[in-house]
């Protein structure tokens, strides 16, 4: 099943229970404009509420780039008041949208600047052998202040600062990306999309209460002190484990799985 958008493609495989979001502006190196941001945000909400979807793949059309970040050749359309400007990353990032279904990001070609919004909040990132990561902000005279916040959670302070400060003058290739933990697997370009779907389908086959609770617990722990994170994680196991084990039993018995609460309420 596919849903029509202007700047992205959204396809849902009801058999594997995997949704695929494809950035679809290859003529602009899949750079995002306000339309794409709004459509990606709508896609996150669509898959979040679709019980036929247990995992999501994010990938990009064309041969040259995963994404070149914000499309600087057209105005983004911020309001006149600087105090009401919004960050495009809020729309592009699944965790901003409280979308806790596992996200697998498949990167090929160039991945720079605002493209890290997709990478930073993916749960599993893989790339093709020719993928190249870099942060172009300072080379364009711009402060790199937003994407590095998420990147530090994935690769640490040292590699984040090196990428942010070197700008266009240093490109992180696939093998280096694997070494520093930016990605977890490197495959040939012609295998990238299939491999991403394989990983997503493997995750999607698990009880969704277990996978979504795991994503939510781990990501939310990053914003909390150690002991508070453990305490909250314990609550999530109490909430999610009975649902997840029931879903597993239903799956084995051929029954329809129970619906996963998207936002468990803590009292």
Asked if the model's pLDDT at residue 61 lies above 80, the reply is yes
**What are the residue ranges of helices labelled H in the chain?**
34-48, 88-92, 116-120, 147-155, 157-166, 174-180, 192-204, 208-221, 226-253
Residue 84 has a pLDDT of 85
Asked if the model's pLDDT at residue 114 lies above 60, the reply is yes
Give mean pLDDT, residues 122-149. 97
**Beta-bridge partners for 22:** 9, 59
- State the Cα–Cα distance between residues 127 and 102, nearest whole angstrom: 17
Mean model confidence pLDDT for the chain: 92
Residue 125 has a pLDDT of 98
What are the Cα distances from residue 14, in Å, to 20, 138, 188, 209, 218?
11, 43, 27, 18, 27
Model confidence at 257, pLDDT cuts 50, 70, 90, reads: low
Give mean pLDDT, residues 53-82. 92
Convert the pLDDT of each residue in 171-191 to its tens digit: 999 999 999 999 999 999 999
Residue 174 has a pLDDT of 98
- State the Cα–Cα distance between residues 55 and 64, nearest whole angstrom: 26
Contact call for residues 167 and 139 (beta carbons, < 8 A)? yes
Residue from 49, 132, 36, 28 nearest 92 by CA: 36
**Beta-bridge partners for 173:** 132
Residue 203 has a pLDDT of 98
Percent of the chain at pLDDT > 90 equals 84
- State the Cα–Cα distance between residues 130 and 142, nearest whole angstrom: 27
Asked if the model's pLDDT at residue 113 lies above 50, the reply is yes
Tell me which of 72 and 179 has the higher pLDDT: 179
Residue 77 has a pLDDT of 78
DSSP string, 164-178: HHHGGG--EEHHHHH
When mean pLDDT is compared across 83-92, 120-129, 195-204, the lowest value belongs to: 83-92
Residue 258 has a pLDDT of 53
Contact call for residues 256 and 230 (beta carbons, < 8 A)? no
Give mean pLDDT, residues 74-84. 83
Model confidence at 3, pLDDT cuts 50, 70, 90, reads: low
**pTM, entire model:** 0.90
The continuous run of DSSP H or E covering 60 comes out as: strand 55-60
Other CB atoms within a 10 A radius of the CB of residue 33 amount to 21
List, in order, residues 6 or more apart from 23 with CB less than 8 Å away.
7, 8, 30, 32, 36, 58, 59, 60, 61, 66, 67
Asked if the model's pLDDT at residue 255 lies above 90, the reply is no
The continuous run of DSSP H or E covering 107 comes out as: strand 103-107
- State the Cα–Cα distance between residues 16 and 13, nearest whole angstrom: 6
Convert the pLDDT of each residue in 217-238 to its tens digit: 999 999 999 999 999 999 999 9
Q: Are strands 2-3 and 8-13 parallel, antiparallel or unpaired?
A: antiparallel
Asked if the model's pLDDT at residue 24 lies above 90, the reply is yes
- State the Cα–Cα distance between residues 68 and 52, nearest whole angstrom: 31
Convert the pLDDT of each residue in 93-110 to its tens digit: 999 999 999 999 999 999
- State the Cα–Cα distance between residues 124 and 18, nearest whole angstrom: 14
């Amino acid at each position: 099943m596919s849903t029509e958008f202007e700047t992205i493609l959204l396809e849902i495989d009801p058999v594997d229970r995997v949704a695929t979001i494809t950035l679809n502006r290859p003529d602009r190196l899949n750079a995002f404009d306000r339309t794409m941001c709004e459509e990606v945000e709508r896609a996150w909400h669509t898959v979040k509420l679709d019980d036929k979807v247990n995992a999501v793949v994010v990938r990009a059309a064309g041969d040259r780039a995963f994404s070149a970040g914000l499309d600087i050749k057209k105005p983004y359309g911020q309001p006149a008041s600087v105090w009401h400007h919004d960050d495009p990353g809020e729309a592009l990032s699944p965790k901003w949208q409280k979308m806790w279904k596992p996200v697998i990001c498949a990167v090929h070609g160039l991945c720079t600047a605002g493209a890290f919004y997709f990478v930073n909040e993916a749960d599993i990132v893989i790339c093709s052998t020719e993928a190249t990561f870099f942060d172009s902000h300072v080379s364009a005279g711009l402060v790199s202040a937003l994407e590095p916040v998420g990147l530090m959670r994935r690769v640490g302070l040292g590699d984040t600062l090196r990428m942010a400060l070197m700008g266009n003058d240093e490109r992180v290739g696939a093998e280096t990306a694997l070494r520093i933990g930016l990605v977890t697997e490197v495959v040939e370009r012609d295998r990238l999309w299939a491999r991403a779907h394989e990983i997503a389908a493997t995750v999607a086959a698990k009880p969704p209460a277990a996978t979504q609770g795991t994503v939510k617990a781990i990501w939310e722990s990053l914003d909390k002190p150690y002991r508070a994170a453990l305490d909250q994680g314990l609550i999530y196991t109490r909430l999610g484990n009975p649902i997840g084990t029931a879903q597993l039993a239903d799956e084995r018995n051929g029954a329809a799985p129970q619906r996963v609460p998207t936002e468990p309420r803590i009292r």
